């Protein structure tokens, strides 16, 4: 699997910066959900790929155990840390009174968090971290993004839309 995430992220950022499209609050929350979910799925699948392809060839029980630990850590980070970030971003988007440019889909703080997560992934490659551990870390980060993306999905539900 190619390490394309570091290449794709700047392209997405530049596209969001340059495109003159403006979105309303609901569309912004939808875009935030899709980007957060796609990033999470990409990292989670990449993590599983690395773990399975690891030359260390762990036995199935160790691989399953490490995968479950990574998922548990990702769940905790997603539920208790990144969901707060998503919630604050939803509140920020709800304050918009008119359609905004795509780049404003996330706050500066969220863009920094995204850059840190991409940086962690890149540093694991640069420092030649064993694939098994690189995969577990990517799986944990990816799963945390998937879990925290659900805050956007809840904000998009019809029950919440009519309350706004």
Question: What pLDDT, on the 0 to 100 scale, is given for residue 145?
Answer: 93
What gap in Å lies between CA 74 and CA 132, rounded to an integer? 16
Handedness of CA 83, 101, 121, 4 (dihedral sign): positive
Question: What pLDDT, on the 0 to 100 scale, is given for residue 72?
Answer: 97
Confirm if 150 and 84 have CB atoms less than 8 A apart: no
Contacts of 152 (CB under 8 A, 6+ apart): 29, 30, 32, 33, 36, 86, 90
Question: What pLDDT, on the 0 to 100 scale, is given for residue 163?
Answer: 47
What gap in Å lies between CA 141 and CA 40, rounded to an integer? 7
Give the residue from 31, 23, 32, 156 showing the smallest Cα distance to 100. 23
- CB neighbour class for 11 (10 Å; exposed up to 12, middle 13-18, buried from 19): exposed
What gap in Å lies between CA 123 and CA 105, rounded to an integer? 26
Give the residue from 52, 47, 55 showing the smallest Cα distance to 71. 47
The whole-number mean pLDDT for each consecutive block of 10 residues of the chain, a chain of 164 residues, reads 60 79 93 92 92 84 92 96 92 94 88 81 87 93 95 87 50
What gap in Å lies between CA 144 and CA 164, rounded to an integer? 27
Q: What is the largest CA-CA distance in the chain?
A: 55
Question: What pLDDT, on the 0 to 100 scale, is given for residue 115?
Answer: 81
The domain locations on the chain are: 24-96+103-163
């Amino acid at each position: 699997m190619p390490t394309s995430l570091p290449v794709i992220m700047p392209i997405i950022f530049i596209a969001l910066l340059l495109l003159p499209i403006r979105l309303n609050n609901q569309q912004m929350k939808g875009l935030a959900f899709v980007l957060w979910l796609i990033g999470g799925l990409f990292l989670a699948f990449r993590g599983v790929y690395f773990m399975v392809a690891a030359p260390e060839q762990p036995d199935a029980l160790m691989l399953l155990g490490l995968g479950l630990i990574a998922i548990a850590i990702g769940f905790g980070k997603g539920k208790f840390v990144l969901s707060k970030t998503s919630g604050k971003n939803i509140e920020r988007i709800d304050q918009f009174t008119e359609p905004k440019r795509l780049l404003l889909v996330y706050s500066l703080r969220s863009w920094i968090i995204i850059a840190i997560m991409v940086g962690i992934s890149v540093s694991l490659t640069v420092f030649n971290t064993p694939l098994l551990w690189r995969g577990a870390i990517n799986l944990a980060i990816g799963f945390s993004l998937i879990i925290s993306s659900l805050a956007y999905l809840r904000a998009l539900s019809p029950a919440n839309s009519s309350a706004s």
